[in-house]
Amino acid sequence: MPNFKKGLKMSKKEIWLNSGFTAESVKLVRDSIIDTSNKDKYVPIIVYINSYGGSVDALNVLIDTFNEVPNEIITVCLGTAMSAGAVLLSCGNKRFVGKNARIMIHEVSSWAMGTTTELKHSLVETTRMNRQLLKIIAKNTKKSLKELMKIFKDTPDFYLTAQEAVKFGIADYIGVPSVIETPVYHVVIDNKKLLTNDVKKKKIVKRGKKR
C-alpha cells in the first residue's frame, strides 16, 4: 500500500474528513484549507474523505470553500463516501477513489417534526435543497437531472464500487495521489510515466488507472 504521507511530510496539505458532516468537523476542514491557501495559493490541497455523510448545511460549507480558494482541490475517498461524502468527492478538481472504497448517493433526507403546517413548509425546503444537490451532482457527473431522478426513484440508496464510481462520473481515477516538489507534472498510469510541463510549484503524482 502506498505511503500517503510521503511527499507531504512537514506540510498541512493533506486534510482528512474522517467523520460525519457536522458544523464542528467541517470547520476544522475549512480552517485547514483556508490556512493552506493563505500560505501558498499554488499548492494542491488533498482532501481525504471517509464518511457516512451528515448535514447538508455542513456539506455546503465545504463546497463553497472549495470554490473560494484558488488552489486545485483533489478529493480522495478511502473507505467510504456516502451521501454528503459522495457529493463532496464529486466536487474535486481531480477525484480519486480507493480500489476497495464504497460510494453511495441518495436524495436529501428530512427529519422534520411538528404540526401539519410546519411539515408542509419543511417539505418545500427539503425539496429545494434536494434539487440544489441534484444539480451539483448532475454538473459534476455530466448526468441530467432527469437521469438522476429516475435512478433515485428506482434505487433510493444508490451504491457504487470504485470502478462504478469512475464510470458514473463521481470520480476520475482509481488509486491515491501524492504531492511532490518537482518542476514537471508526473502522470503514472499502468506503470507508464508521462511528463508534461507545468508552471505550478507543487505537483501531483497520479497513481492508478483512469477508466
Residue of 25, 32, 37, 83 marked catalytic: 83
Residue of 32, 37, 90, 106 marked catalytic: 106
List, in sequence order, every beta strand (DSSP E) within 28-72.
Answer: 45-51
106 is catalytic: yes
122 is catalytic: no
Nearest CA-CA partner of 110 in 97, 125, 96, 98: 125
Contact 203, 195 (CB under 8 A): no
- Cα dihedral 172/29/186/169 (nearest 10): 10
The alpha carbon of residue 135 and the mean position of all alpha carbons in its chain are separated, in whole angstroms, by: 15
Catalytically active residues are 83, 106
